[in-house]
Structure 1
Amino acid sequence: MRLDPPTLFMMTAAVTFTVGVLFLLSWSQARRERALVVWGIAHIVGSGASLLLSMRGQIPDSLSIGIANALMIGAYGLIWSGVRAFERRPPRLDWALAGAVIWLAACAVPAFYESLPARVILASLSAGLYCGVGAVTIWQGRAESLVSRYPALVLLATYAALYGLRVPLAVTTPLPASVGTASPWFAILCFTGTLFSVAIAFTFMALTKERAEREQRLAAETDALTGIANRRALVAGAEQRLAVAPAALLLFDLDHFKMINDRHGHSVGDAALAAFCHIAAPMLPPGALFGRMGGEEFACLLPRYDERAAARIGERIRAGVARFTHPDYPDLAMSVSVGVAVESQIGGSLDYLLRRADDALYRAKRSGRDRVVTSQDYPLPLADEPAGTALHAAAGRRRMRPS
């Protein structure tokens, strides 16, 4: 069955419009993702362009050529603007619509309007440029790990390359000036436009879905007060790392934290916990796993670190906390005690490593606080206890540990 190009253009308009509505419906359920509304408007504008193109020969050329291509170029500009919004950048609608304005201005020049190759070159350069910079923008945001980012990158880059290919073809094999909707070029154009609309819709919606799932996962694994890993995420990550490499564990406990709460209030106490994280996190090496165990206690796993190197990092953090001052609370002093333990074997037990670090921390507290103590300072006998009980035993010792 053979469909004539006007019918294909009508189909493209219907599909693109439907995609635009789906984007807007998705945005109504996720208002924070501004990119969805921009992409929705872009596809509705693109559907209008396809509708005008399908009526070539039935309506004035100023509409089917001038306005239709301006809408099409504007749609690509809005897609790029939506990509910027997705990457948490200003959408820059002025630049998104600049291509359409340039096209309309060029069409006002008779020599340009009467030259089909010139029109093809300008329209292709405009649409290809928007697709190209959209691909670059997605690539620049690759620090946010999303699986669909790379299909979106390939899709935009491929479309930019195809539009770029049209430029030399317009010069070397120009179309006849009398070309109309009966030309196979129009059928190819509307077919690829339909594919692009559907593919970009699936890809962009997958991107927003992956981001929402990633944010939910991070929220479930993040301590709301300090912004670092919570106990569940810390334990899970530490067990994974211990399964493949030896590691050192630093256990931190803020000294006299109850006194800070009692003297200055819980809001200041919460700020002190956050301040400790701001001090400690920049001092940790790449690959360190830092999290809050609960209350005023924090832990950090250092893969492939020996006890001496781990103790040096602990001492650096202890000294940084001791230097902390706050202009609004000149009498507020902070210090931290640190316990250090090392698991030198691959596949070691986190329970046992935590028990040893907790014992070292207990001795740091008993020895006057504000110091770093390693498990080797007083070697511990091996414990004949079932796997998994050390966490509970350590929790019991923490309840009895001096603050």
Structure 2
Amino acid sequence: MNAPAILLALLFGTATVMTIALAVAWSHFGRQKHVLTWTASYAVGMLQWMANAGGFFLKSPFWFIITGIGLIISGSLLAIGVRQRSGKPLRLAGFAVPAAIVIAAMAFAIGPVGSQIMQGFIIPAYVGALLAVSAFSLWPKDRRFTPPELAFCAALLAFVVVQLALAGSATLIRGPEAGKDIYRLIFSIFMPTIYVATAVTAVLVVAGDLALQLRTQMRHDPLTQVLNRRGLDEAAAQAIAQARRHKRPLALVVCDLDGFKGLNDGHGHIAGDQALRGFARLLVSAVRRGDVVGRMGGDEFGLLLLDSAATAAAEVMERVRAEVAHLALPGVPVTGLRASFGVAELVPTDQQLEDMFARADAALYTAKKDGKDRIAIWSEAA
């Protein structure tokens, strides 16, 4: 088997393995749109490398045209998938129209014109542009790159360099064979490595997203989408350490719904779930970005308010308390819901959430004992 056959077999094998791996990831781990789009990209890549082999061994312009179309479609799908993953605006016409123009130009260069310079320049230049768009679309907002994202971005940018080098070397072609050595050298040395690297890092990104999804599920309550007790404990450890380090106040609020049991008994658990989701939304909307909201169990919630003294936290919770009675639940004309709140502030002897929780829970007990639908601060309840 000669070198071109080995090279094309390697590229075809990589595309095949990626198609299978991404199809399995899409089928079993959330069915995200971008994973399906990447699966389609590598599936087209399989067909494109087969067409490339046909064009090379049969010396057929038709198969080279099919190869070019496959490269354009595969690169477009990769870029579309990156934008889907990042949540950035996606206009399919922005990919389809340029792709159609490039395909027409490529077919004209291979067919009627027979220009090998145009043939070797148009496709690598356009694919390089698509990969550059993919790399910049991968850039996350309001956070740093994860290691898999950084590796994938680096692989895409390296792919861009290879494509531009191929496009540049195509301008040196002077005849059927003259000038092709540099083009073939760049393709044979760099294309397999960078194609495999891009494929591997794309799988790492999918795996990293899955790991993040699992961590998020482990730390969040599936009903209300706020932190669960485990997530709240982890957030509290960081918040307490930060408050100590910067000598800033920290307040813990423990609260629950006063009429929750009656709502469950009278209207069923669906109404109860609606009430919990609505109460959680009220709590999240009341606090600032960076503050922490978690469900501790049942209808009990805990909030950590950073840089807030107990009195300031009580003022924030007063707005929530006033709004609880107006929670609208489908099928329940009058909910009768109220909420009680206990507030405690970080003191020097506190080491973990349990230390603050004991005082906040005591304050909540005082609020219940004094008639419910009120806020109690531990220093006043002690």
Same fold (TM over 0.5): yes
Percent of aligned pairs with the same amino acid: 27
Query: Please, what TM-score do these two structures have when normalized by structure 2?
Result: 0.84
Deviations 1:348-381 (A, max 9, x none): 3422211111111111112221111111214x3x
Rounded to whole Å, the distance in 2 between the matches of 1:201 and 1:142 is 26
Instruction: Write out aligned runs for 1:308-327 (5 A).
Output: 308-326=311-329
Residues 99 and 126, structure 1, Cα contact 8 Å, conserved in 2: no
Deviation of 1:313 (Å): 1.3
Task: Find the counterpart in structure 2 of residue 152 from structure 1.
Answer: 152
Instruction: Write out aligned runs for 1:78-117 (5 A).
Output: 78-87=77-86, 101-109=100-108, 113-117=113-117
Query: Please, what TM-score do these two structures have when normalized by structure 1?
Result: 0.80
Deviation of 1:211 (Å): 1.6
Deviation of 1:320 (Å): 2.2
Task: Find the counterpart in structure 2 of residue 393 from structure 1.
Answer: none
Instruction: Write out aligned runs for 1:318-397 (5 A).
Output: 318-326=321-329, 328-345=331-348, 348-378=351-381, 380=382
Rounded to whole Å, the distance in 2 between the matches of 1:343 and 1:244 is 12
Helix, strand or coil at the partner of 2:226: coil
Instruction: Write out aligned runs for 1:159-238 (5 A).
Output: 159-164=159-164, 174-179=172-177, 183-238=181-236
Task: Find the counterpart in structure 2 of residue 303 from structure 1.
Answer: 306
Query: What is the one-letter code of the residue matched to 2:270?
Result: S
Deviations 1:167-198 (A, max 9, x none): 5665xx53223237962312321332212221
Task: Find the counterpart in structure 2 of residue 280 from structure 1.
Answer: 283
Rounded to whole Å, the distance in 2 between the matches of 1:326 and 1:125 is 57
Deviation of 1:249 (Å): 0.3
Q: Which moved more, 1:156-165 or 1:108-117?
A: 108-117
Deviation of 1:139 (Å): 1.8
Query: Tell me, which stretches of 5 or more residues in structure 1 are unaligned?
Result: 381-403
Query: What is the one-letter code of the residue matched to 1:370?
Result: D
User: How many residues matched?
Assistant: 375
Residue 294 in 1 paired to residue 292 in 2? no
Rounded to whole Å, the distance in 1 between the matches of 2:258 and 2:306 is 26
The structure-2 alpha-carbon separation of the partners of 1:141 and 1:32, relative to structure 1 and needing over 3 Å to count, comes to farther
Rounded to whole Å, the distance in 1 between the matches of 2:178 and 2:42 is 24
The structure-2 alpha-carbon separation of the partners of 1:142 and 1:6, relative to structure 1 and needing over 3 Å to count, comes to farther
Q: Which has the higher helix share?
A: 2
Task: Find the counterpart in structure 2 of residue 72 from structure 1.
Answer: 71
Q: Which moved more, 1:154-163 or 1:367-376?
A: 154-163
Residues 227 and 294, structure 2, Cα contact 8 Å, conserved in 1: yes
Residues 337 and 371, structure 1, Cα contact 8 Å, conserved in 2: yes
The structure-2 alpha-carbon separation of the partners of 1:119 and 1:99, relative to structure 1 and needing over 3 Å to count, comes to farther
Query: What is the one-letter code of the residue matched to 2:234?
Result: A
Query: Tell me, which stretches of 5 or more residues in structure 2 are unaligned?
Result: 244-248
Rounded to whole Å, the distance in 1 between the matches of 2:21 and 2:265 is 54
